[in-house]
Amino acid sequence: MKGESMNDLKKYLSIGKSLKICILDNNSVEFLTWVRKNVILEKIFSQYDMILIPQWVWTEVCDSENRKSYINDLKHYSKVQIIDEVDYLTLVDYKEAELYYLFLYCCYNVSRLVSFIKKNILKNRPVEDLDPYEEWLGVFYEEGLDQRKLSNGRIQRKNAGEISIAILSYILSYYYSGSIDIITIFSSDRDTYEFVSKAKEILYKDERFKDRSNTSITFKSNDFLIYEWTRLGYIDEQNIHTFVDSYRQTRRIKFTRKKQDNSIEEQDKLIDNAAFLEMLKDSTIHLIF
């Protein structure tokens, strides 16, 4: 997406409406293709004004025809846009230094990347003297991210999708907070969650960002979606066992539970399918991730 359409998007994001934005991660798209027969796309996405997919995630989506066609079908129901990372600069109004910090903070969990960015991108210079964004973005993608050759011949860049999603969400959160109400990331990847959480921790302390208004970023993991669908009656009670057995595996869940006195307990636990089915019946639970 270049030039004109990028400016259209910026305009759309700045009109002051209470926008609800959904950002899709590859693993969620995969999950959604599995459950497509059970829950129709419209039910999941109609509440969002726009669905965004960063280019680096889109590349991964395209490794599977199923995922690709799911997104293409989604376009009939909702506004879907794939955003090239190069265009992040336009979205932040060409504030290159700030974009640099967003990259750095969204990579903070991976020491090797932080070291790479400082050594090969910042190169001991003040942030004002950085190479042009497009240039260093290329260096980061080509040389910074670990790579692995997939069976289809494509080179996969490790963590590219997670990092790009985290940066895009913070761009929306900080630069368009006036017109965006909701930023929800559909992802079941713990790394994505941790990248976003770590960046939040640092941004809240950083002088450049800490006093700015921002829209909070939330998640819908696969488990969250199943919980939500059960509550909404999209999956009926007879089918729920089969559904969970077919589409879910033991996974760590972060959630809260309301106690008898209304106080809230936080938990982060490995939950197998049997325990998860019990959780689905419990309305005092809120899944965080």
Partner 1 sequence: MSELITSNNLEQVIEKNKLIKDDMLRLTNDFTVRFNKSGVTGQDKLSFSVLKENHLIQIPIDDEYWGGAIITKGNIKIPVINTAQPRVYQYFVAWHEIYHLFYDLSLRDETHNIAVDMDLNERRADYFAAKMIFGNVYDYYYSLDDEDFIDRVIKCMDVYKAPYKAVLIELFEEAVTKYNDIDLKEKILEHFDNKPEDLVQKFIDLELDSELVKPSYVVSLGGLEKKIQSVMKENPDVSHHKDNYQFLLTLKNKIKKGVEGFAK
Q: Which residues bind partner 1 (CB under 8 A)?
A: 109-112, 115, 146, 158-159, 190-191, 194-195, 205, 251-252
Give the nearer residue to partner 1 in terms of CB position, either 158 or 258: 158
DSSP per residue over 41-73, as a string? Answer: HHHHHTT-SEEEEEHHHHHHHTTSHHHHHHHHH
The residue written with tokens 């459950």 in the block is 35
Q: How far is CA 74 from CA 43, 80, 201, in A?
A: 11, 7, 34
Phi, psi of 34 (to 5 degrees): -65, -40
Give 49 or 206: the residue with its C-beta nearer to partner 1.
206
CB of 203 to partner 1, least distance (A): 14
CB 105 to partner 1: min, Å: 13
**Closest CB 145 distance from partner 1, rounded Å:** 11
Number of C-beta neighbours around residue 102 at 10 A: 25
For residue 122, give every residue at least 6 positions away whose Cβ sits within 8 Å of its Cβ, in sequence order, or none. Answer: 100, 130
- Of residues 96 and 191, the one with the C-beta less far from partner 1: 191
Minimum CB distance to partner 1 smaller for 207 or for 261 = 207
Shortest distance (Å) from residue 7 CB to partner 1: 35
Q: Which is nearer to partner 1, 110 or 172 (CB)?
A: 110
Q: How near is the Cβ of 159 to partner 1 at its closest, in Å? A: 7
